[in-house]
């Protein structure tokens, strides 16, 4: 298991890190969490907090990259907990691919490809979440639908890999 979050969203229970008063830590609008009432709100919010995170900026610090790496690990663990005993082979395969990319991404190794592997791990995690949603008959998760809740105008290097 990975280290715990600084706090959790009071509405959906999603893991949050950092100062809860800063943008991107908790929803900025009044009225609560945008994930509340949706299927798998913790997984959706966890994915988006990483997806729109500081590590994806071109000027991200090594500390922000390491934090994101550990958040991705916790996120994969959360997906794994939900998958236990469910027999969803396609989702399990996506999660296994996410873990493979995650292990390859270890920023301590100072690989030139660490960011690409982290992005790949997050993409496979997103596919796993979509598989869980599909199994329940829900449409796929669309992070851009929640972008206004995060301190991100665009997602850098999204189309480069």
Q: Would you say residue 57 lies in a domain? A: yes
C-alpha distance from residue 4 to each of 75, 77, 108, 157 (Å): 11, 11, 20, 28
Range of the domain at 130: 7-149
Query: What pLDDT, on a 0 to 100 scale, did the predictor assign at position 96?
Result: 97
Q: Would you say residue 19 lies in a domain? A: yes
Q: Would you say residue 64 lies in a domain? A: yes
Q: Would you say residue 120 lies in a domain? A: yes
Give the CA radius of gyration of the chain: 15
Greater pLDDT, 33 or 26: 33
Q: Would you say residue 55 lies in a domain? A: yes
- State CA 22 to chain mean position distance: 18
Let me know: does 34 contact 146? Beta carbons within 8 Å.
Answer: yes
Q: Would you say residue 1 lies in a domain? A: no
Q: Would you say residue 2 lies in a domain? A: no
Q: Would you say residue 160 lies in a domain? A: no
- Taking only the tens place, the pLDDT of each residue in 74-102 is 999 999 999 998 888 999 999 999 999 99
Of 65, 80, 76, nearest to 116 by C-alpha is: 65
Domain total for the chain? Answer: 1
- Taking only the tens place, the pLDDT of each residue in 100-138 is 999 999 887 777 789 999 999 999 999 999 999 999 999
């Amino acid at each position: 298991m990975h280290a715990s979050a600084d706090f959790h969203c009071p509405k959906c229970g999603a893991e949050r890190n950092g100062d809860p008063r800063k943008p991107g830590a908790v929803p900025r609008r009044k009225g609560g969490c945008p994930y509340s009432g949706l299927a798998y709100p913790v997984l959706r919010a966890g994915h988006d907090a990483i997806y729109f995170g500081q590590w994806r900026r071109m000027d991200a610090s090594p500390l922000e990259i390491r934090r994101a790496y550990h958040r991705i690990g916790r996120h994969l663990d959360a997906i794994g907990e939900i998958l236990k005993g469910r027999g969803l082979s396609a989702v399990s395969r996506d999660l296994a691919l996410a873990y493979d990319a995650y292990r390859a991404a270890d920023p301590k190794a100072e690989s030139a490809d660490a960011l690409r592997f982290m992005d790949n791990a997050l993409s496979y995690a997103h596919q796993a979440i979509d598989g869980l949603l599909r199994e329940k008959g829900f449409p796929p998760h669309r992070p851009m639908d929640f972008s206004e809740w995060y301190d991100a105008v665009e997602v850098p290097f999204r189309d480069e890999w």
